[in-house]
């Protein structure tokens, strides 16, 4: 390691005094002007990680659904998954080190993680459309170069596209070609194969309105449009030419506010969807004939995909194990429908994509979605091999055709991470093949009314949870109080959990009516304020 070069460059990317950041599920995120040193140092870390695992590592410069003035960075591991938890600690140490300690901390990481300094390092870089992203990705390149790493800068890409590239590279392109064209071709080929078999194909065009959150999704969808069959028409809104990223639009806005984004004109019963700022989340919605807004969130997306895959697996006649993975935020109606009607096992894990992804890997077919619209489907190696073999060799026509549909689904789904473009095409293909309207999809089950609230606390760490965050262990007496409150309402449940990013406690409640859900959420938030060191005045109803 060239310590002189490291000194020289770290002076160009100084750490602001007194700033401490934590690498969380979303990597680092804060105001863009505070991130220059972090970007430089994550360039350094990516080189170390690459040498440790002898594979290409990804770095994505994005703050997803945060406001435009924020930015962030996350590292992508060799199979396109999120950075290994043990390295999240190294990331935090490196980001918070004083300038003169950098050399020492790098040496410590190399010792702890058995990094072979003489191995080559390779890093893929991508960024979103924020005004600050280009300069910040240049700082990443400085960090990679100081430690002698090789890099490929993909420039403007969606987060899932970068995950895809990393996975392609590290599977020697078995997963696909590590180019944007490779991504567009793989997905559009599978999508076209599927949609061609739909009962009404060729008779009429399918229209879909897409709110791109004024982000990267608009650029990449318009690049991909020439690859789509002409029977499918995608109309882009909030394409970033006029308004600010994520401002009054995007998947997060629509999900939280339960209303359509600005800049998208909805006619009754039209299918619409929203991406988030870096295109790794998607939600659908429509207005009914009376003008009432209906949101179709990640739970309903997971349910639609599960129904479709379960039918195909039954036709193929293989004993492949399928399961759905959710978090405590999943609507109780979705869990009930999946378990009781569809008879698919459901597993609940802690909030955070990495927990869902990890659990889904335990099954032949693992479907996971967070209610916010981030999710995908994972197929085990054995399941994928079996399905591809049946698609080729199965003598029985019906079984072979079902296996071919499954094979195209495998190719259409981005298994590395939730991907709004891929998920949108999966949903469009399923709706077409099953001949379902958006309203019919929506009525598969009715969501229980729910309410999500935040309570300001002095220190969020006073709350500790268990049972996939569904029960509070501390402070003493809080869970007993919640249990007593829940008993007052029908079909009700409630839980509290500390936020991963700020000193607030999140309260979730559902019940038989909106009035009861609101009342329960309010009563639980009063209990949190009282027992967990609430700040300021008690919450008002």
CATH code, 182-295: 3.40.120
Q: Which of 64, 188, 333, 334 is catalytic?
A: 64
How do residues 480-491 score in pLDDT, each as one tens digit? Answer: 999 999 999 999
Average pLDDT over residues 484-513: 93
How do residues 409-451 score in pLDDT, each as one tens digit? Answer: 999 999 999 999 999 999 999 999 999 999 999 999 999 999 9
When pLDDT is cut at 50, 70 and 90, the band that residue 25 belongs to is confident
Binding-site positions for Mg(2+) read 64, 276, 278, 280
Comparing 507 with 2, the larger pLDDT belongs to: 507
How do residues 518-532 score in pLDDT, each as one tens digit? Answer: 999 999 999 999 999
Statement: residue 492 has pLDDT above 90: yes
Share of the chain above pLDDT 90, in %: 91
pTM over cut 0.85: yes
d(CA 145, CA 38): 15
Residue with tokens 């998954």: 81
Domain range list for the chain: 3-156, 182-295, 298-418+437-443, 450-532
Domain 3-156 CATH class label: alpha beta
When pLDDT is cut at 50, 70 and 90, the band that residue 501 belongs to is low
Secondary structure, 3-state, 478-536:
HHHHHHHHHCCCCCCEEEEEECCCCCEEEEEEECCCHHHHHHHHHHHHHHHHHHCCECC
Structure tokens at 106: 């790098």
Q: Which of 167-171, 204-208, 374-378, 389-393 has the lowest mean pLDDT?
A: 204-208
For residue 341, what is the DSSP state?
I
d(CA 190, CA 98): 50
Determine contact, residues 211/272, Cβ cutoff 8 Å: yes
Statement: residue 282 has pLDDT above 90: yes
pLDDT of 541: 87
Q: Which backbone phi and psi does 74 adopt, to 5 degrees?
A: -140, 145
Is 334 in the active site? no
How do residues 85-138 score in pLDDT, each as one tens digit? Answer: 999 999 999 999 999 999 999 999 999 999 998 999 999 999 999 999 999 999
When pLDDT is cut at 50, 70 and 90, the band that residue 319 belongs to is confident
Average pLDDT over residues 210-235: 96
Binding-site positions read 64, 276, 278, 280, 370-372, 497-501, 506
Share of the chain above pLDDT 70, in %: 100
pLDDT of 199: 84
DSSP codes joined into one string, 11-71: HHSPPPTT-----BTTBEEEEGGG-HHHHHHHHHHHHHHHHHHTSEEEEEE--TTS-TTEE
Residue of 256, 321, 158 whose CA lies nearest to 454: 256
CA atoms within 13 A on the CB side of 291: 0
Q: CATH fold of 450-532, please?
A: TATA-Binding Protein (3.30.310)
Burial of residue 454 (CB within 10 Å: 0-12, 13-18, 19+) is middle
pLDDT of 535: 93
pLDDT of 443: 96
Rounded to the nearest 5 degrees, what angle is found at the Cα of 421, between the Cα atoms of 415 and 425?
85
Q: Does domain 298-418+437-443 have CATH number 3.40.120?
A: yes
Residue with tokens 């296996």: 403
Average pLDDT over residues 334-342: 97
d(CA 357, CA 529): 33
d(CA 76, CA 280): 14
What mean pLDDT value characterizes the chain?
A: 95
Q: Do 182-295 and 3-156 have the same topology in CATH?
A: yes
Structure tokens at 513: 């009516």
């Amino acid at each position: 390691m060239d310590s002189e070069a490291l000194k020289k460059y770290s002076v160009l990317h100084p750490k602001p005094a007194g700033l401490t950041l934590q690498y969380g599920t979303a990597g680092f995120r804060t105001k863009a002007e505070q991130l220059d040193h972090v970007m430089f140092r994550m360039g350094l870390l990516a080189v170390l990680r690459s040498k440790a695992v002898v594979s290409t590592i990804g770095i994505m410069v994005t703050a997803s659904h945060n406001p435009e003035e924020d930015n962030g960075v996350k590292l992508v591991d060799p199979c396109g998954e999120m950075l290994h938890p043990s390295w999240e600690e190294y990331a935090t140490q490196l980001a918070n080190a004083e300038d003169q300690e950098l050399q020492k901390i790098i040496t410590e990481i190399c010792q702890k993680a058995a990094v072979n300094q003489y191995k080559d390092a390779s890093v893929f870089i991508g960024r979103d459309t924020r005004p600050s992203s280009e300069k910040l990705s240049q700082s990443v390149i400085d960090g990679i170069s100081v430690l002698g790493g090789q890099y490929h800068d993909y420039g403007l890409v969606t987060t899932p596209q970068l995950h895809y590239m990393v996975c392609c590279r590290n599977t020697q392109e078995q997963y696909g070609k590590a180019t944007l064209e490779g991504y567009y071709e793989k997905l559009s080929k599978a999508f076209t194969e599927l949609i061609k078999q739909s009962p009404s194909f060729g008779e009429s065009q399918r229209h879909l309105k897409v709110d791109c959150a004024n982000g990267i999704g608009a650029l990449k969808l318009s690049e991909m449009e020439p690859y789509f069959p002409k029977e499918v028409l995608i109309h882009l809104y909030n394409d970033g030419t006029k308004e600010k990223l994520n401002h009054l639009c995007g998947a997060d806005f629509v999900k939280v506010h339960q209303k359509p984004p600005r800049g998208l004109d909805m006619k009754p019963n039209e299918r619409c969807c929203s991406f988030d700022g870096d295109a790794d989340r998607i939600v659908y919605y429509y207005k009914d004939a009376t003008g009432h807004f209906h949101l179709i969130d990640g739970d309903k997306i997971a349910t639609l995909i599960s129904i479709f895959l379960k039918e195909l697996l039954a036709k193929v006649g293989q004993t492949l194990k399928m399961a759905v993975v959710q978090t405590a935020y999943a609507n109780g109606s979705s869990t009930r429908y999946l378990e009781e009607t569809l008879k698919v096992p459901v597993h609940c894990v802690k909030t955070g994509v990495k927990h869902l992804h990890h659990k889904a890997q335990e099954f032949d077919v693992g479907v996971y979605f967070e209610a916010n619209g981030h999710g995908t489907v994972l197929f085990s190696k054995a399941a994928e091999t079996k399905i591809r073999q049946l698609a080729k060799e199965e003598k029985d026509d019906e079984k072979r055709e079902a296996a071919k549909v499954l094979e195209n689904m495998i190719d259409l789904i981005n298994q590395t991470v939730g991907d709004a473009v891929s998920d949108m095409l999966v949903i469009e293909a399923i709706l077409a093949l099953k001949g379902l309207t958006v309203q019919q999809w929506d009525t598969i089950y009715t969501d229980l009314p729910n309410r999500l609230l935040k309570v300001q606390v002095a220190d969020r760490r006073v709350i500790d949870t268990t049972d996939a965050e569904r029960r509070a262990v501390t402070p003493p007496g809080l869970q007993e109080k919640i249990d007593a409150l829940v008993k007052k309402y029908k079909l009700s449940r409630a839980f509290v959990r500390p936020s991963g990013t700020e000193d607030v406690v999140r309260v979730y409640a559902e019940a038989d009516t909106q009035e009861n859900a609101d009342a329960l959420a309010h009563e639980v938030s009063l209990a949190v304020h009282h027992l967990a060191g609430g700040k300021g005045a008690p919450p008002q109803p």
